[in-house]
Amino acid sequence: MIEKHVKVSSAAAQHLLKNLAHSPDAIAFVLYLKSDGCSGYQFELKPVVKIDAGMIKIIDILYVAEKFYPAISGLNIDIEKQSNFGFKLLYKLPQASDYCGCGKSFKIDIQEQQEG
């Protein structure tokens, strides 16, 4: 059974907060599920200066569009140290399959419902 929420580790939340400071007018990030890559979808974070209607709060500085929430429910966001290149966010989505070779894009069985 897939959990019906999104989890963000405390380390990932701190990383997001630190990176939010690079966009002085931004108040949060919005997580998008965009059609891209060789397997179908990728996650994309964008800083925003206001929270639009139809956004679901994940944590104080992270929101997702309501239309994407069913597709990403159960998502775990964490962080991974990259040797000499800082850190990278890790997205673990239980219902994702068919990851591309580089691991950035994936397929989800319910993706037809999320396009638009």
Ramachandran region, residue 77 (left: φ > 0; alpha: ψ -120 to 50; beta: rest): beta
Domains of the chain: 7-111 (2.60.300.12)
pLDDT tens per residue across span 52-99? 999 999 999 999 999 888 888 889 999 988 777 788 888 888 887 776
- Residues 6+ positions from 24 with CB-CB distance below 8 Å: none
Instruction: Please give the span between the terminal C-alpha atoms of the chain, in angstroms, as a whole number.
Output: 27
The winner for highest mean pLDDT among 9-18, 38-47, 66-75 is 9-18
Answer whether 0.95 is exceeded by the pTM.
Answer: no
